[in-house]
C-alpha cells in the first residue's frame, strides 16, 4: 500500500476543535482584523483560547445564534474578518436564514466554524448530534464548506479560511481525532489529498471517516485490492478533477461521511460522477438520528467503521465487475 508522504501512520491526536483554538491564536497575532465571536460555548469550541489572548477582539454574544451571525456580518461589513463559533446543531442549525441573507447573499467575509458535529459528539444524544449541517451549508450558494480530518488539517483549514475572502464553513468534532497528517502546510481549499494511492477502487472520505478509510484500504490491501483514498476535506468547491480521475482510473467509488446521506459529501460526489463519468458508487453515511453513547460505540452502531467502508468497497468492486 502506497501512502502519501504526508502521513506516516495513524496515531491518536487532538480533537479538530483544539487545532481550531490554536490556529485562532496564531492568526490573531498575524492579523488585527480577526475578531472572534461565540454563542456561549467558547470553552468547548476552544475560541476561549483566543479570548484569553485577545480579550478586546473576543465576544461571547450569549446564547443568541441569530444575533451571532448578524453581528459577524456587521463586523465583516466594516472590514473585520469575523469568526463565529457554536455547536453545529445551533449554528447553522438555529440561524440558517441569517447565514443566507446577511452572509451568503452579500458574500460577507464571515467564517462559521462549528464544533461538536456528528455522532462523535457522543453522550449528549441526538439533539446535540448534527448530521445535517453539511447539507444546510452546501445549500447556501457561495459558502466554502470544509470538513477536516484531524488536528493538522483543521489547523491549516482555519488558516485558509482566514485568507479566503468570503463565507466559509468549517465542521469540527468534539472527540479526539486519529492523526492522519504529519504536516499539511500545503493545504489548499478545494484540492483533495490522495492519502493512499490505488487503482482498483476509490474511497472518498472526510472528517473522522478519513482515518477509517485508510484503515479500510489496509484491510483491502491484504486481499490484494489496491484502494485509493481521497481526503475530500473541501466539500464546496468539490475537487471535480480528483473525482473524475478517480472514476476514470479506478471505475468504482465509495463515499464515507459522518453525516446524513441527504445533501452530504456523497451526493456532491454522485452529482459530479453522474455528470462527468458514470461509475458505481456505494455510500457510507448515517441513516438515522443518533443516541447517547461513546463516540466509537456510536460509529460502530451506525455502521461508520473501517470494516463498513471496506465492505462498501467490495460491493462497489462487485458492481464494477458486473458491468
Q: Which of 13, 51, 70, 122 binds other proteins (CB under 8 A)?
A: 70
Q: Least distance in Å: CB of 86 to other proteins?
A: 13
Site string for other proteins, 71-110 (x = CB under 8 A): xxxxxxxxxx-x--------------xx-xxx--xxx---
Q: x/- string (CB under 8 A) for other proteins, residues 240-259?
A: --------------------
**Nearer residue to other proteins within complex by CB, 106 or 293:** 106
Do 200 and 227 meet the contact criterion of CB atoms below 8 Å apart? yes
Q: How far is the CB of 318 from other proteins (least distance, A)?
A: 49
Burial (CB count within 10 angstroms: exposed 0-12, middle 13-18, buried 19+), residue 175? buried
Return the number of the residue (7 or 102) whose C-beta is nearest other proteins: 102
By beta-carbon proximity to other proteins, the closer residue of 63 and 262 is 63
Closest CA to 84 of 97, 67, 101, 100: 67
Query: Cβ(256)–Cβ(212) under 8 Å?
Result: yes
Does 65 qualify as catalytic in the annotation? Answer: yes
Alpha-carbon distances of 144 from 134, 163, 179, rounded to whole Å: 11, 12, 24
Of 101 and 274, which has the nearer Cβ to other proteins? Answer: 101
Please give the size of the binding site for other proteins, defined by CB under 8 A: 30
Q: Which of the ranges 68-76, 149-157, 193-201, 232-240 carries the binding residues for other proteins, by CB under 8 A?
A: 68-76
Taking the complex as a whole, the smallest distance from the CB of residue 97 to other proteins amounts, in Å, to 5
> Toward other proteins, which CB reaches closer, 52 or 125?
52
Residue with Cβ nearer other proteins (2 or 63)? 63
Identify which of residues 99 and 255 has a Cβ nearer to other proteins in the complex: 99
C-alpha cell of residue 33 = 482584523
* Residue 272: C-alpha distances to residues 73, 111, 154 (Å): 32, 26, 25
Out of 14, 19, 36, 69, the only residue in the binding site for other proteins (CB under 8 A) is: 69
- Report in angstroms how near the CB of residue 47 gets to other proteins at its nearest: 16
Catalytic one of 18, 65, 132, 215:
65
One character per residue 27-66, x = contact with other proteins (rule: CB under 8 A): --------x--------------------xx-x-xx-x-x
Least distance (Å) between residue 36 CB and other proteins: 12
CB of 39: closest distance to other proteins in angstroms?
10
User: Interface residues for other proteins in 206-225 (CB under 8 A)?
Assistant: none
Give the nearest distance from C-beta 56 to other proteins in angstroms: 7
Q: Which residues are catalytic?
A: 65
Residue ranges binding other proteins (CB under 8 A): 35, 56-57, 59, 61-62, 64, 66-67, 69-80, 82, 97-98, 100-102, 105-107
Amino acid at each position: 500500500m502506497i501512502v502519501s508522504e504526508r502521513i506516516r501512520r495513524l496515531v491518536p491526536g487532538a480533537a479538530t476543535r483544539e487545532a481550531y483554538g490554536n490556529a485562532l491564536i496564531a492568526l490573531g497575532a498575524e492579523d488585527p482584523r480577526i475578531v472572534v465571536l461565540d454563542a456561549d460555548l467558547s470553552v468547548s469550541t476552544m475560541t476561549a483560547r483566543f479570548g484569553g489572548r485577545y480579550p478586546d477582539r473576543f465576544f461571547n454574544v450569549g446564547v443568541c445564534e441569530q444575533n451571532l451571525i448578524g453581528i459577524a456580518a456587521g463586523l465583516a461589513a466594516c472590514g473585520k474578518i469575523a469568526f463565529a463559533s457554536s455547536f453545529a446543531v445551533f449554528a447553522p442549525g438555529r440561524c440558517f436564514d441569517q447565514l443566507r441573507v446577511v452572509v451568503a447573499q452579500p458574500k460577507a467575509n464571515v467564517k462559521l466554524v462549528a464544533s461538536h458535529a456528528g455522532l462523535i459528539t457522543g453522550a449528549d444524544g441526538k439533539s446535540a448530534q448534527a448530521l445535517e449541517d453539511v447539507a444546510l451549508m452546501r445549500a447556501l450558494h457561495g459558502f466554502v464548506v470544509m470538513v477536516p480530518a484531524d488536528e493538522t488539517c483543521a489547523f491549516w483549514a482555519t488558516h485558509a479560511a482566514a485568507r479566503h475572502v468570503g463565507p466559509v464553513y468549517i465542521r469540527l468534532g468534539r472527540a479526539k481525532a486519529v492523526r492522519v497528517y504529519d504536516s499539511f502546510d500545503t493545504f489548499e481549499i478545494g484540492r483533495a489529498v490522495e492519502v493512499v494511492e490505488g487503482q482498483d477502487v476509490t474511497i472518498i472520505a472526510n472528517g473522522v471517516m478519513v482515518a477509517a478509510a485508510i484503515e479500510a484500504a489496509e484491510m483491502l490491501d491484504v486481499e490484494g485490492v489496491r484502494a485509493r483514498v481521497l481526503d475530500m476535506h473541501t466539500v464546496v468547491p468539490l475537487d471535480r478533477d480528483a473525482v473524475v480521475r478517480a472514476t476514470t482510473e479506478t471505475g468504482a467509488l465509495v463515499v464515507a461521511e459522518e453525516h446524513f446521506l441527504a445533501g452530504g459529501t456523497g451526493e456532491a460526489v454522485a452529482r459530479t460522477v453522474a455528470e462527468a463519468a458514470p461509475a458505481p458508487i456505494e455510500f457510507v453515511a448515517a441513516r438515522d438520528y443518533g443516541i447517547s453513547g461513546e463516540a466509537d460505540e456510536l460509529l460502530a452502531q451506525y455502521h461508520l467503521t473501517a470494516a463498513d467502508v471496506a465492505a462498501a468497497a467490495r460491493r462497489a468492486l462487485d458492481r464494477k465487475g458486473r458491468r
